[in-house]
Structure formats: C-alpha cells, structure tokens
Amino acid sequence: MSDGVKLEQMGVPTVTVCSTAFAGAARSQAAGRGMDDLPVVEIPHPMHSASQQAVTERAEKAIAHLAAALTERKAAVASATAVRLPEVLALDADPTALEEYFFDHGWTDGLPITPPTRAAVDAMLAHTARDRNETLGPIPPRMRIVSLEKIAINAVMAGCKPEYFPVVLAAVEAVLDENCRLYGIQTATNNTTPLIIINGPAIERLGFNAAGNVFGAGNRANASVGRALQLVLRNLGGDVPGETDMATHGQSGKFTFCIAENEADSPWPPFHVERGFAATDSTVTVIGASPAHNLFTYGCETGAEILDHFIGGLTALGHNNVIFPTGPLLVIGPEHAGVLARDGIDKAAIRKAVFERARIPLSRFAARTVRGLHHRRSRWFELFPNADHIGVADDAAHVSIVVAGGAGIHSQFVPTSFSYHPVTRVVKFK
C-alpha cells in the first residue's frame, strides 16, 4: 500500500492485489497515507494453502479487474481532510462516564485508563526540557505527525508516573528509527511487537523490575511504560487490531512489553555498554520481538550443558529467527549466567556457539520453505553457498544477550523479527 500511494502520487497508475481477508486493512492503510481510493483487487482467501489450480483460476478471474483498475478509472486523489475532534474535551467528571467515553471512541487497549486531565498532562511534560508542541513522526501505519503533548496524554492514560515520561519519549524515538522497521511490525500477520529493554541508572531511579517475573505483572514502571508505547502506536499511529494490525494471534506484549536488565546480578558488562554507551547512561533499546520461549535446564550442572539446552531451544522449526535474519535475543537468568561465567563461557562464547551450532538441516523443511529461505535469508546462502542447513543468525554479532530474571534455572529465548537490529536511545532526564 505504501508503494502504491507513492507511485500514484508520482502519476503512475497502480493496482494492489490482496486476499479478501486483508482488503479492509489495505484500504485503511492507504487512507492513512492520504489516499482513500487507491485501487484494490481482491482475491479469495486463503492463497498460501490453496492448490495450484485454485491459484490459477483466481488469477485468471482477477485479470479483467486488474485491467479495469488500471485503464478505466480516474487517478487516485488525496483523501479529504478528516473530521477532527477539538483539542480539549469538556467531559463529565464521573469516573465511570469518563471510562466509557474512552472505550466508546476506541482510545483504549481494552483496559481502563487514567483520564488525561490538563493537570496530569502538564505534570508529565514538566519532566522534559523539550517543548510540548515539538513533533515526532510520522508514526506508522497512519503516518501521523504527533506532538510531545499527545505522547504525554497517552503516557497518562497508561498509568505512568510523570517521572517516567523521558523513558517513554526515548522508547517512541527508538521505534521510529528506520532500523526498527515499525511499519512491518505493526501490519503483518506475525505476532511481533516492539520489546523495550531498560539499562543504566534509570532502573534503580525509577524502580524498573529486572529480577523475578521480569516479563510478568506487578511492577508499575515496566507495565505502564510498555503500555504507554503501545497506546501511542494505537491512538496516535492508528495501529488498530483488525484494521491495520492483522496479526493472526497477536500476543500479550501488545498490551505492554518492557523489561530491565539485571545488571547487579550479571557477571558480564551490561547490554547498553556492549552497544557503545557508558555505564552511567540510562538507555532504552527496542527490537521487534515475539513472546519468550522458556529454556528450562533441568538436571544441568555445567555451563556446557546449559549451552547445549540453549542451542536445542533455538533449533526448533517455526520460530521467527529461522525466517528473519535479525538474530535471536537470549534473556539469560542470573543463575545460568553465573554458572556459564564460572565455567569460562562469556557472552562472546555464547554468541559464537549460537552462530556455529544453532543450525537446522534444510532436509527438515518442506521444499517450498527451502525456496523461500533462499529468498528471505539470502545473505546466509551468500555466506554459505552450498549450505545444507540454515542458522538462526547471519553473524555471531547479531545474537543479543541480556541478563534478567530472578532465582531459578530458567532463561528465555526471544525470537526477533522485522527490525534490522536493536535500536538504542539515551534517556534524557530534565
């Protein structure tokens, strides 16, 4: 849709072909980019699992519609200006009425919100030296330009304390970096969503959880900062399930997905220091990620045995790092990290082992999958032209490692996708 709009704006007639299941999302995305009437030809869904005969028949039926869309219509034009709500709303102060108003307008994630009163928004903005009218964007998929004030409104709604606002800003700026590939994350059928990783003094200063239940509930900083980013993407970016977000299943990270590194219990340098920042810097890192897969090393006593389990967990079929060359994220529990470090296995050795050993024989895949891998993972086959296997990373440096969590012999494999690599931004406190 993005390419179609750009070409139409250049005077080149286009038609976009998609299956019926995604036609609504296609039109919504085109409208978000300023073109309500971008031509779309629908083909019955599904296509991926359809027989060759069915695909051929559908293609033949679509030809006349394609020709008409290209030759028998007026050029697509920019959308009319949408009706805008006033900048300030005078609402009933009754808490129930406020909640219902926001639900009725689709401005929540399905959970209650904190009403963004003028006083609450002003308190949020007081924690940055930047002007409330400064703009960021465009924010996919609707490609809207938004002000810091609009971001503060959503941070209030998410339940953030005012002092969290600089972290929220850094997270928004990180996901808007081209290397995050936010548009693809938001509009695919995959369950990917941006994962936030907090490092540096901000962890203790703001009370982020880096220990037990780090991916779970119960900590306000983790929950509300992650939720604030998701509300920004929904309310400001127009990332709406069923309209622009076409995830087949989605995941709970689309409510909130924020962890901190357990730097105090790690035997290794922190993640952000490895990425070139000072230990005294507070940082936010984002990357497109799926839900974590538990790596339970029952019975393992040595670092080598633990590493074997990690490799085993990474070589299953179907996870995103088979298809996407982003490189996996390992969130290693402190107990595992301690044993690995005790046995002389550092982060560099873990990355090397994952790169060299986490390889899946191509014989385990369907023939069509193998053909697809040669396209989707082309760099791998450039590195290894005669490879009879596929790895989970194109380079050892693409394997990301964070130490987080509490007591227990568990670590997490977080499949990543879409992002070119993790994106890190410094948190700028006032």
> Average pLDDT in the 24-30 region?
80
Residues 237 and 193: their CA atoms lie apart, in Å, by 14
Same domain, 54 and 111: no
Residues 202 and 256 reside in one and the same domain: yes
CA atoms within 13 A on the CB side of 430: 15
424 lies in some domain: no
**Rounded distance, CA 334 to CA 331, Å?**
9
Tens-place pLDDT, residues 212-245: 999 999 999 999 999 999 999 999 999 999 888 9
| End-to-end Cα separation, the chain, in angstroms | 40
Q: Angle at the Cα of 65 (from 61 to 71), degrees rounded to 5?
A: 145
Residue 388 in this model has a pLDDT that exceeds 80: yes
User: Do 119 and 198 fall within a single domain?
Assistant: yes
**How far is Cα 127 from Cα 29, in angstroms, rounded to an integer?**
34
Q: How many CA atoms lie within 13 A of 333 on its CB side?
A: 23
Are residues 198 and 129 both part of a single domain?
yes
How many structural domains are present in the chain? 3
Q: Are residues 238 and 182 in the same domain?
A: yes
Do 138 and 250 fall into the same domain?
yes
* Type of residue at 270: P
| Average pLDDT, integer, range 152-176 | 98
What are 355-375's pLDDT values in tens digits? Answer: 999 999 999 999 999 999 999
C-beta separation of 279 from 399 below 8 A: no
CA distance 111 to 199: 28
Statement to judge: residues 251 and 160 lie in one domain: yes
Tokens of 108: 């929540």
Q: Is the pLDDT of residue 272 over 90?
A: yes
**Do residues 194 and 289 make contact, with C-beta atoms less than 8 angstroms apart?**
yes
Within-domain flag for 425: no
Distance between CA atoms of residues 152 and 171, nearest Å: 13
CA 230 to chain CA centroid, nearest Å: 10
Domain end point (choices 229, 264, 299): 264
The answer to whether residue 101 sits within a structural domain is yes
* Same-domain status, 316 and 365: yes
pLDDT of residue 289: 98
190: left (phi over 0), alpha (psi -120 to 50) or beta: beta
pTM reported for the whole predicted model: 0.92
Assess if residue 419 is contained within a domain. Answer: no
Same domain, 146 and 58: no
Shared-domain flag, residues 115 and 251: yes
List Cβ neighbours of 190 (8 Å cut-off, separation of 6 or more).
247, 248, 290, 320, 417, 418
**Which of the listed residues 219, 245, 264 is the one where a domain comes to its end?**
264
Residues 241, 300, single domain; the answer is no
Please classify residue 11 by burial: count the beta carbons closer than 10 Å to its beta carbon, then call 0-12 exposed, 13-18 middle and 19+ buried. exposed
Model pLDDT, residue 77: 55
Domain presence at residue 238: yes
Last residue of a domain, one of 245, 264, 283: 264
Supply the pLDDT for residue 81.
Answer: 45
Residue 271: inside a domain: no
Residue 197's domain comprises 95-264
Higher pLDDT, 77 or 349: 349
The answer to whether residues 224 and 99 belong to one domain is: yes
For residues 37 and 71, give the distance between their C-alpha atoms in angstroms, rounded to a whole number. 15
Residue 283 lies in a domain: no
User: What are the tens digits of pLDDT across the range 297-348?
Assistant: 999 999 999 999 999 999 999 999 999 999 999 999 999 999 999 999 999 9
Residue 284 placed within a domain: no
User: DSSP assignment, residue 78?
Assistant: P
Retrieve residue 155's tokens. Answer: 């941070």
